[in-house]
Amino acid sequence: MQNLRHAATEAFHRLGLKQRQLGYEELDEADPSYSKPQPHWFHTLQVRRLTVQRGRSNSDPMGGKSFDQDFQWKTGLQFGTANSYLNLEKIGEGTYATVYKGISRINGHLVALKVIRMKTEEGVPFTAIREASLLKGLKHANIVLLHDIIHTKEALTFVFEYVQTDLAEYMTQHPGGLHSYNVRIFMFQLLRGLSYIHGRRILHRDLKPQNLLISYLGELKLADFGLARSKSIPCQTYSSEVVTLWYRPPDVLLGSTDYSTALDIWGAGCIFIEMLQGTPAFPGVADVFEQLQKIWAVVGVPTEEMWPGVNELPNFRPEWFQPCAPQQFRNVWKRLSQLPYKTEDLAQQILITIPRDRISAQDALQHPYFNTLPPPIMQLRDMREIGTPLH
């Protein structure tokens, strides 16, 4: 326990921070305990002084609690068994699964336990099987790591590495848009993760800030592969009901099921804008029509001449392609053009209406927008240094 807290304290001193009982506080250079951070890329991660108390601090993974009385290390425990992990607290709940913060009783590592409830008459949900099969083959610094799988009569539990927060929560803590340098770091890592899975012909199909995990060192990791699909397996059953509405590209909104990696690229572009301006790029509320209108107001209304075949898409409606009244979203490009280092150009290459014309993740990584990042981040290995595998 002490070693874990000592390591966290050292990490925060390297970041130029000191721990408080709750939240973070910037170190004062006049403070005797202050030492200037070393020039690692993550030291510029934006951290603002909190004016309100938070119930849990990332600097203390145990949240100030002590489990010494009810937690005992055991030898001989095996992977794949429920008693090898201890639940500490619930951190999220969805329709089909509940996520807990936990700890491995095998090695003391913090973990995230995604517990999928089993329905006796249906067995293991197919989406869970697909998620497990894909994640077991993905080992990358920008992909959440699956440590273990536990299968019982009552539940299927995925054991993931524990990551402190997600991009949605991070943006909530830093309203009004993120620091431009941090946007660049996060966007670079998002594209690295996409380039990795796209190179293996895997589509995520559910990109949104809630599915991008952020560690306290500024590492971004793609998570929640429940809707992911592999294009290496021939399939004619792709659905247009993928991706949360705000991050769904126009071709899929119009009912296209013949999509590829450009699907994820559009979602990444929407997240890019959201990080920069602090609000969603295209926040449709009512239906597909409203979502398309918000998109057309920014990128323009496409025509059959511009986009051959658009009239043949299943959800095509001529009334949906009428000129849009100017909206506040037209100001998106104006705000981007005021930012340095080709921000506007990258956004425009990503948020292209016609899917075949969107830039790929690999090409986007070479865009001049990222030229100001220090060389070490450009030279990071794709494959994570795992050391001794957990399973």
Does residue 17 surpass a pLDDT of 80? Answer: no
Q: What is the percentage of the chain residues whose pLDDT exceeds 70?
A: 68
Binding-site residues = 114
pLDDT classification of 301: cutoffs 50, 70, 90:
confident
Among candidates 195, 183, 219, which has minimal Cα distance to 346?
183
**Which domains, from first to last, does the chain contain?**
82-161 (3.30.200.20), 166-378 (1.10.510.10)
Among candidates 98, 114, 107, which has minimal Cα distance to 79?
107
Binding-site residues for ATP = 114
Rounded Cα gap, residues 22 and 28, in angstroms: 18
Say what the pLDDT of residue 376 is: 77
Tens-digit pLDDT profile for residues 195-213: 999 999 999 999 999 999 9
Contact 212, 271 (CB under 8 A): yes
Contact 155, 115 (CB under 8 A): yes
Catalytic positions, written as ranges: 206
Query: pTM for the whole thing?
Result: 0.76
Cα angle 335, 340, 345 (rounded to 5 degrees) comes to 70
